[in-house]
Amino acid sequence: MRYSGVVSRGIRMPLIKEGTDIVPVIAKTLAEAAAEEGFSFKERAVVGVTESLVARSQGNFVTLADISASVSELFPEGDVVIFSPILSRNRFLPMLKGIVGGIKGHVNIVLTLPSDEVGNPSCADPYGYADGIFGEDSPYFNFVHPITKSNYSQLYKELDPQRISISYVWGIDNFIKASAGKATQALVCTVHNRHVYAQKLAAAGFKTHTLADICAKPMRPGAGFNAEFGLLGSNYSNEDRVKLFPRDCQTFVRRLQEALLAQTGVKPEVMIYGDGAYKDPVTGIWELADPIVCPAATDGLSGMPHETKLKSLIDSGKDVAKEVLSNASGQALGTTPRRLTDLLGSLCDLTSGSGDKGTPVIYITGYFDNYYTK
């Protein structure tokens, strides 16, 4: 009798430093964990590796000076609007220091109301829509985040009080309307809406770039970069540098899959995961500050789940086993239409957490089984 369905295990890894080839380390650690703790390697298991572990092993870091140099190339002169950054001390504040350092003129940071893109509130009244652009003399400037207890407006301004001003607007269309005739340069800092926002601002006459354009190439020999995402997905490393999203991800997952097959005799699916794609119902904050949940996965993780709605079959009076075993139509009515990599990436992120668990590798079994799988 089988009692367990999906099992997600956080695997404790050695502390990985920059420059380590983690593929053999992960394969060896998983084999040792299985031997020590009595679990087995199974077909269609999934091994998830957090993006930060991959990026750190690659040495994919940039200094604040690298960021400044990249911004100077994009905006050689003049004032720049920094439009709709997220409110974050570890995600945006470190890169903002480098960005401001590369801008020659005035910096106007425009925060969106009533929240940033991922749900961090920027004002007390989420329904208080008003036309126009509001400045530091408005109540918004004194708003304190209810969870972090930080005043992000003041944190951002304090980086260079003489050159930085803070503004607030309800929506990008309202900003464009209020900025008519004042077209200048804009750095779009949203993560998931960046293409739409950049197109709107460019159509309104702004010279526009996004965070994906910054450090998209190495700014010096040995510097990190990400040709696809630039600064998107970056995170605090230390006071002088930030970690970028990893590169060459598809090569990594294939190498690890082959190494695990050689080590265990079983070929698992492998993926790299970042932030999970879920929203906290209490704070209203959406977890996904990375550009995507999964930058790379092996072929068996493409597509969506192939599932039948078990509880609906039970209530319908049909032959449940027959319907489940004969299902050939993919997702049934009521099953959430999400990609496998987004679902599994969220499971990995929730399992590993973001603190001191020390489990940047996740081993998942049973995910592709149904109720009748032995």
Question: What is the extent of the structural domain holding 292?
Answer: 7-59+246-303+339-365
Q: How many structural domains compose the chain?
A: 2
Q: Please report whether residue 183 resides in a domain.
A: yes
Do both 85 and 197 map to the same domain? Answer: yes
Rounded distance between C-alpha atoms, residue 23 and residue 123, angstroms: 46
Burial letters for 183-206: b for 16+ Cβ neighbours within 10 Å, e otherwise? ebbbbbbbbbebeebbebbeebeb
Do both 55 and 75 map to the same domain? Answer: no
CA 11 to chain centroid: 21
Average pLDDT over residues 137-156: 96
pLDDT band at 140 (very low <50, low <70, confident <90, very high): very high
The pTM assigned to this predicted structure is 0.91
Residue bearing tokens 């957090």: 50
pLDDT digits (tens, 9 = 90+) for 289-323: 999 999 999 999 998 887 777 777 777 677 777 77
pLDDT of residue 247 exceeding 60: yes
Do both 129 and 154 map to the same domain? Answer: yes
Do both 277 and 224 map to the same domain? Answer: no
Q: Please report whether residue 46 resides in a domain.
A: yes
Task: Work out the number of other CB atoms within 10 angstroms of the CB of residue 236.
Answer: 16
pLDDT at 330: 54
Do both 69 and 184 map to the same domain? Answer: yes
Rounded distance between C-alpha atoms, residue 12 and residue 9, angstroms: 9
Rounded distance between C-alpha atoms, residue 296 and residue 245, angstroms: 12
- The set of residues, in sequence order, having a beta carbon less than 8 Å from that of 165 and lying 6+ positions away, is 106, 107, 108, 109, 135, 136, 157
Scanning 59-207, the segments in alpha helix (DSSP H) are 64-74, 93-102, 152-157, 172-178, 194-203
Do both 81 and 228 map to the same domain? Answer: yes
- CATH number assigned to the domain comprising residue 252: 3.30.1330.100
- CATH number assigned to the domain comprising residue 143: 3.40.50
Task: Work out the number of other CB atoms within 10 angstroms of the CB of residue 305.
Answer: 16
Residue bearing tokens 């920094």: 82
pLDDT at 328: 52
